[in-house]
A and B are shown apart, each in its own frame.
Chain A
């Protein structure tokens, strides 16, 4: 099974609505990264969470890491068409040595005006 499961796979919302994307890990998370990707392009860094219970916000996007450090959620408030894209979570399961990121399959977000 996947080390990192993202849900939902795709999401269509009306502009102005709130939405949540989830990322669940089968292993302890030493770092959880959220990125946005426009189709066929590179990844835009959004946020990185490390500590259990941590929450970070940037503009209308908030990300949380649960206390057990195995699940994270990304919440967008009052969505806009500019939020459309693919949201990817990436996990550091290494805890320091042999650092690398494992990625979920992504959530395709469509925001209808």
Chain B
């Protein structure tokens, strides 16, 4: 398995502000991902975080709103920018190791 530390675990933020979520993995992984889980919904992939290059975003998600950094093979950040109440969700990072995929504990974001 993989040990994934995600911070913060939860936050309440004012609309218009930004929040940066950190994801630290216990060992090097090639593939890291960021997902969003809106209230009562399943997980949706936001982007694949690529080490040394720009993230690859899924349809409906843009870099200006969700900038991602991946400075090395064990760490990534996701920023939720200019937040609105619609951004209230759980954000999860995930890593793929061999054939298995593991998730962090998630960041529960509430925007007021």
Contact = CB atoms under 8 A, between A and B. Distances in A.
Given A101-B45, A103-B43, A104-B42, A42 B100 contact: no
B101 interface: yes
Interface of A: 31, 33, 35, 40-43, 45, 48, 50, 88, 90, 99-106
Majority SS at the chain A contact face: strand
Nearest to B1: A45
Contacts of B61: none
Nearest to A102: B45
A40 B108 CA distance: 7
Interface residues of B, number: 24
Contacts of B77: none
A26 B97 CA distance: 26
Given A88-B42, A100-B33, A103-B43, A45 B100 contact: yes
A100 B48 contact: yes
A86 to B, nearest CB: 9
A42 B99 contact: no
Nearest to A92: B101
B76 interface: no
Contacts of A106: 42
Contacts of B1: 45
A48 B45 contact: no
B31 A42 contact: no
Nearest to B4: A42
